[in-house]
Each structure stands twice: as C-alpha cells, then as structure tokens.
Amino acid sequence: MAYSFVEIQKRKTYFIVFLTILLIIIYFATIWILWLAAKIYFVSVFMDFQNFPKKFFFPSFKENVILFIIAIKIALIHFFISSKNMSKKIFYILKAEPMDLSYLKHQQLKNIIDEVLIATGSSQIEGRVINTAFCNAFSTADFDGKVYIGVTEGLLSKLNRSQLEAVVAHEVAHIISGDCFYTTVVCSMFGIYEGFLERISENLVPIETVSGFITKSILYCIISFISALNNLVVSLLSQQREFRADAIAVKLTRNPLALAESLYIISKTWRGKSTASEAFSPLFIVETKDASEFSTHPPIEERINILMNMAHADHSVLEKMMENMYFRTGNIRKDTTPKIGGKTKTQKGWFIFKDNKWQGPFSFSELTQLNWLTGDHLICREGALTVKKACEDFDLISLFKPLHKEVSYKYSCPHCYHGLEELKYEWASTYRCPICKGILVSRSELNKILIREERSFSEEIFQQAEMVKKEKQERFRKIQQIHTPFVLNCPKCGKKMRRRLFSYEAPVEIDVCIWCDIFWFDAEELDIMQVLYDQNLNKDILLE
C-alpha cells in the first residue's frame, strides 16, 4: 500500500545490517572492559601492582583485533539465535495462545482480522489471545513472513466491535508498512532474554532463605543490565511509526472515533505494567511501561487528539463513553427479567416445535414415548413465555442423558464423590458436580471467567455478594480460627486442599490445591465472586 514490495525488502536489509553493527559495537565494548578488568584483577592479585607498567593494561593493536573478531563472532551468533522463531518465543513469554473459536468473542476477533485483510487485499494473519486482565494489543512478524496479531482477554471484554476493529486495523497497518518486522526483531535481541528471566524470577520461591535472597538479587542485576541494553536498541525505533499506523488504520476503517475511543480505554486501564510484557513494550499499541524519556511510543494524548480532530468530535465524547462503559459492567450483568415458571411451579406439559408448528402439550411420560424427540428440538412449557432447546430444560435433561453416558468422568466431587461434569462457564472449561453444584476450576480458566462478561446474575446473587462484603472482617477472623483447614482432597492429585478466603477484596471461601493450582468453589460462590470482582474499582489487583 504505502510502500512497494522491493522497497520494503531493501529497507529490511539495511536495517538488519545496521542492527548487527550495533550488536558488534555493544559486544566489543563489553569484552574490552571485561578484558581490562581481568588484567587489573590478575595483576593486583598475583603481582606487584604499583610497579607494573601501566601500558600493559591497555590492549595493544593485536589484542584489539582479536577482541574485535571475538565480538563479531558473538554478535553474529547472538543475532542468529535471537532471530529464530521470534514470535514463538514472544508468545511463550507473554503466554499468548491460539484462539478458542467456540467462544464468540474469539470468533469475532478472527472475523475482524479477516475483514480488515479484505480492505488491504493482503495475505493471512493469525490471531493470538493472552489470558490476562490487562488491556493491550500487539503484532509480531517473523523472518519467514508469518505475521500475528495478539489481543489480551481484558481488551476483548472491554471493547465493542468497531473499537476492536480499529485496534486490529492499527496492528494490520504496522504489518503492511513493514514496521512490525523491525519492532519484532529489535525486541527479540534483548527483550526475549529480559522477559524470560522476568518469568523465571516470578516463579522463584519467595525471599525467605539467604540463598533465595542472593539468587533473586543476582537475577535482578542481570535483568536490569539486559533491560538497559534492551532500552538502548529499542530507542532506535521511530515514534513516528505509531502516528503512521493510526493514519493507515483510519484509512482502512474510515472510523477515527472508534480508534480514539479504544486508545482512550487502554490508556485509562492497566496496560501491562510490572508483567513480562514490559520487555516487549514497543510491540504493543500503547506502551506497557509508564511514559518516560525511554518511551517508544508518542504521548497517548497526542495520538488521541489527532484522531479526535479527524472525527470532528469533542473530548467529552470520550469521557461520556467511559462512564457508560463502567455503568454497563456494573449494572447490565444484573439479570432483571422476571422468572416465569420457576423450578418450584411444576407445569403440566411441554409444547414441541416440529414440522414448522407447535405440537402438544405432552406430559413427561408422553415425552419419554416420543422416539423422534431430540435435545435439539425447541420446546415451550405450558403457560411459559420462554422457548428453549429440549436439552436445556432442567426437567428434561434426564431424557437425553443416555447420549452423554459414555463420557467417563475425569474428576469426582470432593464432597459427594459423584463424577464431575465438564461445564463451559463463560467458555472457560470447568468441572461441576451435578449434585452439590460445586465447581472445580484451574487458575488460568478462573482468570478467563473473571475477565469475561458473558453471564448475568440474579438479584439473590447480588444480595449474597453484599452480605459477603459486610461480613468481611468476621469471615477473616473465622477462617483463622479453623483448626483443620485441610478437609477436602484435591480431585486432581488427591492431596489435601487448603480452605481459605480468595483475597481481601473478594473474601469468598474456597478450597485450593497448591500443587495443581486448582480451586474448588461451592455452589454459587463463583457467581458471588464474579459480582465482587466486577464491583471492585481496581479489580486487576485481584489477578496475577
């Protein structure tokens, strides 16, 4: 679009040569200093330092040449290793995963990527999703021409369709202009190692022992050194690329307001500070670190102002949109539709939609006789206004059970020892006990559930959540008085699970297995937990 293919290739070659030269200089300087230090150390320990000729310390021409050759070799090896499978390594560190197309929001992301591609007339782009609450998006490009766009789960839950489209268009713009490739290569040189060490230090045992403290401090020193080098090479990138990408994105979607809105939302939320994503800050649409003199992005306000000018809109539009958004998350998830024909009132019969008309009513025993009835048929209870699939009706599930009977249970309930049924809760996989309704969920899946906003909750759940909040102090006192917090066995590994409160902000009682990182929620506790999470203003603290 903006540049011809040949031109992009030419610029790529220049860029790689330039980067390699920079690497050689960095390594030469480092080796030179190390060599000098080694010499001084050697002399001061084994010989008379005072009387030694000072000329000896500074490397001779011959030594310089040797050091230079070593530097070239190391730099080339470094470049070769770092430039292999760049995207794969970045995904590993960011924990970015392929999309789960059974989840509507992920399908939507895939659709949007395909749509924007039609506008550019270019080739395939793959989507990735990071299972985290922070809001950001990034793109990567490999040497073999494969390109990816990644979006965080948090961003997916906060943006509407046209806003998400604007973000995707921005990333596509980076890809077609070739900027994405430079950014990926530059970030791969040192960022990968910084991010990798960052992830190791996250998983390290807390600083309680002396050796733990020492390892942690050494690791910290190494990380800061690599981070400094990362900042150095990353400063090569021009901030102009973001303005350029914004402009192309608007040209593609013809919707500057949506892009301004999404930038505004991202700038007002947690963008990924103090996670491993900091090492790849330049890859993201809005930088994950705080703005500083090392900023790789232009100030976000400036970008928003330009876009708002294009849209001929006022800044107040953005503030209003943000207010509406918080209003939405706070309230819309309350399920206010009155329950008609609840479980207590037993209806006499069911109507079934077959051959384009409603038939019936049938009684339960009559239904068992109908051999053509499948779980896919639409049914309506007598006197009720709601229509649903037969397999979704609470009383009819047993009719269709035989179909599912072959499924062997993976886990069994720690309370009632009944097999746990796999249940998609907001498209995250959980296991639920059909008898006590308790739910087993791993940490990463729980993450998804808390971030996503697909379910609405009844008034009772909201009341219970209020109760939990009121009893906060009492609950904490109580949980500390328990003498035997290890009651239930982990359904996965069989070890004892610890009973505790989830967190200070969400004091819901849970059982957790520290070995498998898996949680057991009693009936409705997960729903209550979600309501509490939504109500929390800086809710991202609950996660990570």
Partner 1 sequence: MWLLLLILIILLWVISVYNVIVAKRNNVDNAWAQIEVQLKRRHDLIPNLVKVAKGYLAYERETLENVIKARTQAMQAINIKDKETAENFLTSALRSLLFVVENYPDLKANQNMLKLQEEIISTENRIAFARQYYNDEVMRFNITIQQFPFCFVARMFCISKKELFKIEDSSQKEPPKVKL
Residues with a catalytic annotation lie at 171
Q: Which of 285, 318, 399, 440 binds Zn ion (CB under 5 A)?
A: 285
Closer CB to Zn ion, 41 or 486, in the complex:
486
Computed on alpha carbons and rounded to an integer, the radius of gyration of the chain in Å comes to 29
Taking CB under 8 A as the criterion, which residues in 334-353 touch partner 1?
A: 337, 353
Q: Which residues contact 18 (CB under 8 A, 6 or more apart)?
A: none
36 binds Zn ion (CB under 5 A): no
Q: Which stretch binds partner 1 (CB under 8 A): 29-37, 131-139, 186-194, 253-261?
A: 253-261
236 binds partner 1 (CB under 8 A): no
4 binds partner 1 (CB under 8 A): no
Q: Which residues contact 439 (CB under 8 A, 6 or more apart)?
A: 423, 425, 430, 431, 432, 433, 520, 521, 523, 525, 526
Question: What CA–CA distance (Å, rounded) separates 352 from 389?
Answer: 9
CB of 105 to Zn ion, least distance (A): 22
Q: Which of 108, 201, 489, 536 binds partner 1 (CB under 8 A)?
A: 108
CB of 389 to Zn ion, least distance (A): 26
515 binds Zn ion (CB under 5 A): yes
State the CB neighbour count (10 A cutoff) for residue 508.
Answer: 24
118 binds partner 1 (CB under 8 A): yes
The label of the residue with tokens 């003199």 reads 293
Q: Say if residues 88 and 124 touch (Cβ distance below 8 Å).
A: no
CB of 387 to partner 1, least distance (A): 5
Closer CB to Zn ion, 33 or 435, in the complex:
435
413 binds Zn ion (CB under 5 A): yes
DSSP state of 314: -
317 binds partner 1 (CB under 8 A): yes
Q: Which stretch binds partner 1 (CB under 8 A): 50-58, 230-238, 242-250, 256-264?
A: 256-264
Question: What CA–CA distance (Å, rounded) separates 310 from 313?
Answer: 8
Taking CB under 8 A as the criterion, which residues in 130-169 touch partner 1?
A: 161-162, 165
Long-range contact list for 367-376, CB < 8 A, 24+ apart? 367/396, 367/399, 368/399, 373/399, 374/400, 375/400, 375/403
Question: HEC states along 86-111?
Answer: HHHHHHHHHCEEECCCCCHHHHHHHH
Alpha carbon separation from 151 to 36, 127, 451, 513 (Å, rounded): 47, 8, 13, 30
Question: HEC states along 119-171?
Answer: HHCCCCCEEEEECCCCCCEEEEECCCCCEEEEEEHHHHHHCCHHHHHHHHHHH
CB of 318 to partner 1, least distance (A): 11
Q: Which stretch binds Zn ion (CB under 5 A): 15-23, 111-119, 181-189, 492-500?
A: 492-500
Closer CB to Zn ion, 380 or 525, in the complex:
525
Q: Which stretch binds partner 1 (CB under 8 A): 67-75, 82-90, 100-108, 139-147?
A: 100-108
Q: Which of 3, 49, 220, 358 binds partner 1 (CB under 8 A)?
A: 358
CB of 486 to Zn ion, least distance (A): 12
> How far from chain centre, in Å, is Cα 484?
36
Question: What CA–CA distance (Å, rounded) separates 57 from 38?
Answer: 10
Question: What CA–CA distance (Å, rounded) separates 272 from 294?
Answer: 17
Cite the DSSP H helix spans in 256-363. Answer: 256-268, 300-310, 315-331
Q: Which of 349, 361, 516, 524 binds Zn ion (CB under 5 A)?
A: 516
Question: What CA–CA distance (Å, rounded) separates 320 from 317?
Answer: 5
397 binds partner 1 (CB under 8 A): no
453 binds partner 1 (CB under 8 A): no
Decide which of Zn ion, partner 1, none touches 433; Cβ closer than 5 to 8 Å per partner kind.
Zn ion
State the CB neighbour count (10 A cutoff) for residue 175.
Answer: 22
Q: Which of 436, 479, 488, 501 binds Zn ion (CB under 5 A)?
A: 436
CB of 248 to partner 1, least distance (A): 14
Closer CB to partner 1, 211 or 337, in the complex:
337
Q: Which of 70, 236, 291, 313 binds partner 1 (CB under 8 A)?
A: 313
415 binds Zn ion (CB under 5 A): yes
Decide which of partner 1, Zn ion, none touches 60; Cβ closer than 5 to 8 Å per partner kind.
none
The label of the residue with tokens 């102002």 reads 305
Interacting residues with partner 1 (CB under 8 A): 104, 107-108, 111-112, 114-116, 118-119, 121, 161-162, 165, 252, 254-258, 311-314, 317, 337, 353, 356-358, 378, 386-388
Applying CB under 5 A, which residues contact Zn ion? 242, 245, 285, 413, 415-416, 433, 435-436, 490, 492-493, 513, 515-516
